[in-house]
Structure 1
Amino acid sequence: MSQSPFTLQSFKYSDDRLEILNQLLLPHTIEYVEINSVEEAHDAIKSMKIRGAPAIASLAALYIALYLKRSLNTAPAPKFLASTESLAADITPILDYLYTARPTAVNLGAAMRRLHQALAASVAAAEDVQSATRRLIKEAEDVSNEDVGRNKEMARLGGEWLIEQVKQRGGGGKELNVLTVCNTGSLATSGYGTALGLITYLHETGHLDKAYYTQTAPYHQGSRLTALELQTLQIPSVMICDTMSSISAVGADRVAKNGDTANKIGTYNAAVLAARHNIPFIVVAPVSTVDLDVPDGSRIPIEHRPPVEACIIRGALYPGTEDDKAQAVVMFTPKGLTGIYNPSFDVTPAELITAIVTEKGVAVKKEGEQQFDLSGIV
């Protein structure tokens, strides 16, 4: 995986070591934490030490690869390496356990199913256990290695399509302004990024003027509450920009069959504002994020985070102290507050989305339709 030396990586992986960047401590502290057990891998995903749908899928897969590599190098060999059947019996519950760490991000489930299928193929082919183990290691490493290439292809396809669309709308396509929501760069993927990858591509090709990054969890829950729960709040918002040279681009944790998209809280806000001001709203996500088994956004499981997360702020002490790394966690709500609403994601309906970009192509809605046909990009 090739990265700029100035780019933070969500994880570091070698033949005998797996580390993650503890994103709970960012931006003030950069600390890598070693992952040595399935419990540590599960906790890193569930507690959001590592986040981003592609990144958590990569971590889970790479833990499996590390576990198997260490097992192959252990003497005497663990009992589960006695046969392909015992290998499957050992690995299957580990895959199932890792899958439970985050319910909304479909990439994790896709990665675990991919490894299940590789195991099943080895058992069906009656492979010797050494070959089956190495096949599974390669499959797990491919989950991560393929991600960077997918991201770059998405960025290219989306960037080229976008530049052409802007030209058709009367803009020159030379310098674009892009607003994005949540973390979609190297910390959310195996490298380069999804929506941020698109922004990077525009910068690298000389088409980016400014990129705007909006704050998200846990303070942008109003739009989800309005759209899906109470439908009574009215939240005044305004975004002023040149509609001929501005776009909104976001990633996704799950895209339903009709194009409805679950992403970090705050995405729906941006989609509504983009529609109000006639700004293209683009979802950039790998094929593994598209879930054709889910017909629409109402069927996407929405993860709710611990209520306390909506009551606290973590940050560096200000004004500065002698210890410039000192941090504090402050509760800003009354003690004993109940009824706290803290979903991690909101759902943007397909009708508000201009295009969905994957590594297989760009999908747009047919004239007069409110939903997508995603068959051409999955």
Structure 2
Amino acid sequence: MSMLTSIRTSNQKIEIIDQLLLPHTTKYVEITSIEEAHDAIRDMKIRGAPAIASLASLAFAAYIQTGIDTAPLPAFLSSSDSLSAHVISKLDYLFGARPTAVNLGAAIRRLKAVLQFSTEAGKSVRLIATDLISEAQLIADEDFDRNKRMAAHGGEWLGELDKESGGSGEGLNVLTVCNTGSLATSGYGTALGLITYLHEQKKLGKAYYTQTAPYHQGSRLTALELKTMRIPSVMICDTMVGSLFQHHKIHAVAVGADRIARNGDTANKIGTYNAAVLAARHNIPFIVVAPISTVDLDTPDGSCIPIEHRKPLEACLVRGAVHPFEYDAEGRVRQETVMMTPSDLEGIYNPSFDVTPAELITAIVTEKGVATRKEGDTSFDLSGVV
């Protein structure tokens, strides 16, 4: 079963799929600097909390490696103090690209911790730099394996839950929001990974997914991934979730997360909270699938999660292929950006995320296992899965 890849590397070359051009054009863009990585993250050429952290780490590692390989050495490698000041400024710059995505923050903290430990150990500048490169590459490499583990944990748990309710544990229909597959991670995916796992185990009925306006990560990206993997699927508009639950048997909603607070409150793509409320009304299990790095134990609850607001104009625009298709000289489908609204609207509310309260979440799945709430509790004890 083939999968798309959001990031590919060869030697020291880093390339990403420009997700703004998907699904009609698959174009890899080379990332040659920290600044280009920052801009790609900020402008959503790459998105998905794990993929963002991976790209930032890889770009940072390549930057430090280039410094080591340069003769004469750049000024920031002249002493441990200059290296420390320079690295911290670069890491802070990368963090500013998408601050809500906690995986990025976790990666930045890990790199800063390695910097502090290696510096305090009295290592040479070159060894400190080498330690930073190793940690950055580890951050990027560990994502795929943990995604497969959490997908298996979540898929098996859902199958057993269905059996406990009198079902067969097979033919499971699962709704997801946004895109949480290979394009949002270093491979396999989180919530979409759970769906992929069920398909591989022949336990999936159909995957349902919302379009996820205004960036349409569902209709552009999830649709493309499911089509590529030949997984039976159905797209719905964001406003159709309630109707779907009324008229079709849905066994679970599975979503990813950009940040999970200590009590289980979860920030994810806008529209997730809507799906959670409707799932609760229809007694449909609501599952959050995310790596441990997404759990922010320093944030007590959802009210403390910073919510990124995108440019108002982004809610007025849509990009896609000209229809009927037109092709350029290279055979690529011509794409255009069009405005769907009157120009110069004064009132536009455009948050990128919403927060789903823990009391609406049935289970939180990480690579360590599945956490559920005790009966009567409105929050999670996540100690067993972090």
Q: Do Structure 1 and Structure 2 share a fold, with TM-score over 0.5?
A: yes
Residue identity opposite 1:47 in structure 2:
D
Residue segments in structure 2 that go unaligned for 5+ positions in a row: 217-238
- Tell me, yes or no, if the aligned pair for 2:40 and 2:46 is still in contact at 8 Å: yes
Query: Is it true that 1:331 corresponds to 2:352 in the alignment?
Result: no
Q: Equivalent residue for 2:326?
A: 321
String of CA shifts for 1:33-63, please: whole Å, max 9, x gaps.
1112222111111111100000001111111
1:122 to partner: Cα distance: 0.8
- Pairs within 5 Å for 1:275-314: 275-314=280-319
Question: How far apart, CA to CA, are the structure 2 residues paired with 1:136 and 1:241?
Answer: 53
Q: Equivalent residue for 1:365?
A: 373
Question: How far apart, CA to CA, are the structure 1 residues paired with 2:368 and 2:356?
Answer: 22
Q: Equivalent residue for 1:127?
A: 123
The count of corresponding residues between Structure 1 and Structure 2 is 360
Question: How far apart, CA to CA, are the structure 1 residues paired with 2:266 and 2:149?
Answer: 21
- Tell me, yes or no, if the aligned pair for 1:202 and 1:208 is still in contact at 8 Å: yes
Query: Is it true that 1:262 corresponds to 2:267 in the alignment?
Result: yes
SS state of the match for residue 329, structure 1?
A: strand
Question: How far apart, CA to CA, are the structure 1 residues paired with 2:102 and 2:280?
Answer: 27
Q: Equivalent residue for 1:202?
A: 198
Residue identity opposite 1:44 in structure 2:
A
- Tell me, yes or no, if the aligned pair for 1:16 and 1:70 is still in contact at 8 Å: no
Q: Equivalent residue for 1:69?
A: 65
1:373 to partner: Cα distance: 1.2
Residue identity opposite 2:6 in structure 1:
S
1:68 to partner: Cα distance: 1.4
Residue identity opposite 2:115 in structure 1:
L
Question: How far apart, CA to CA, are the structure 1 residues paired with 2:12 and 2:100?
Answer: 30
- Tell me, yes or no, if the aligned pair for 1:181 and 1:216 is still in contact at 8 Å: yes
Q: Equivalent residue for 1:216?
A: 212
Q: Equivalent residue for 2:349?
A: 341
Residues 36 and 235 (structure 1), Cα distance of their counterparts in 2 relative to 1, 3 Å cut: closer
Residue identity opposite 1:296 in structure 2:
D
- Tell me, yes or no, if the aligned pair for 2:215 and 2:318 is still in contact at 8 Å: no
C-alpha RMSD of the superposition: 1.8
What is the aligned counterpart of 2:173 among 168, 171, 177? Answer: 177
Moved over 3 A (4+): 234-237, 240-243
What is the aligned counterpart of 1:9 among 5, 8, 31? Answer: 5
SS state of the match for residue 242, structure 2?
A: coil
Between 73-82 and 17-26, the greater mean CA deviation after superposition? 73-82
Question: How far apart, CA to CA, are the structure 2 residues paired with 1:72 and 1:191?
Answer: 30
SS state of the match for residue 154, structure 2?
A: helix
Query: Is it true that 1:253 corresponds to 2:258 in the alignment?
Result: yes
Residue identity opposite 1:283 in structure 2:
V
Question: How far apart, CA to CA, are the structure 2 residues paired with 1:206 and 1:27?
Answer: 27
String of CA shifts for 1:50-106, please: whole Å, max 9, x gaps.
000000011111111111121222122222223333221221100011011112111
1:219 to partner: Cα distance: 8.1
- Tell me, yes or no, if the aligned pair for 1:61 and 1:143 is still in contact at 8 Å: yes
- Tell me, yes or no, if the aligned pair for 2:3 and 2:188 is still in contact at 8 Å: no
Question: How far apart, CA to CA, are the structure 1 residues paired with 2:354 and 2:75?
Answer: 45
Question: How far apart, CA to CA, are the structure 1 residues paired with 2:345 and 2:52?
Answer: 32
Residues 173 and 236 (structure 1), Cα distance of their counterparts in 2 relative to 1, 3 Å cut: closer
Query: Is it true that 1:96 corresponds to 2:92 in the alignment?
Result: yes
Question: How far apart, CA to CA, are the structure 1 residues paired with 2:327 and 2:339?
Answer: 24
String of CA shifts for 1:86-141, please: whole Å, max 9, x gaps.
22122110001101111211110000000000000110001112221111111000
SS state of the match for residue 238, structure 1?
A: helix
SS state of the match for residue 150, structure 1?
A: helix
Residues 241 and 83 (structure 1), Cα distance of their counterparts in 2 relative to 1, 3 Å cut: farther
TM-score in terms of structure 1 length:
0.91
1:271 to partner: Cα distance: 1.1
Question: How far apart, CA to CA, are the structure 1 residues paired with 2:381 and 2:252?
Answer: 22
1:14 to partner: Cα distance: 3.0
Question: How far apart, CA to CA, are the structure 2 residues paired with 1:322 and 1:155?
Answer: 39
- Tell me, yes or no, if the aligned pair for 1:217 and 1:264 is still in contact at 8 Å: no
1:321 to partner: Cα distance: 2.6
- Pairs within 5 Å for 1:36-51: 36-51=32-47
SS state of the match for residue 313, structure 1?
A: strand
What is the aligned counterpart of 2:146 among 143, 150, 154? Answer: 150
Question: How far apart, CA to CA, are the structure 2 residues paired with 1:172 and 1:72?
Answer: 58
Query: Is it true that 1:23 corresponds to 2:28 in the alignment?
Result: no
- Tell me, yes or no, if the aligned pair for 1:178 and 1:246 is still in contact at 8 Å: yes
Residues 241 and 153 (structure 1), Cα distance of their counterparts in 2 relative to 1, 3 Å cut: farther
Between 83-92 and 340-349, the greater mean CA deviation after superposition? 83-92
Residue identity opposite 1:206 in structure 2:
K
- Tell me, yes or no, if the aligned pair for 1:58 and 1:143 is still in contact at 8 Å: yes
Residues 235 and 176 (structure 1), Cα distance of their counterparts in 2 relative to 1, 3 Å cut: closer
SS state of the match for residue 142, structure 2?
A: helix
Query: Is it true that 1:272 corresponds to 2:277 in the alignment?
Result: yes
Residue segments in structure 1 that go unaligned for 5+ positions in a row: 221-233
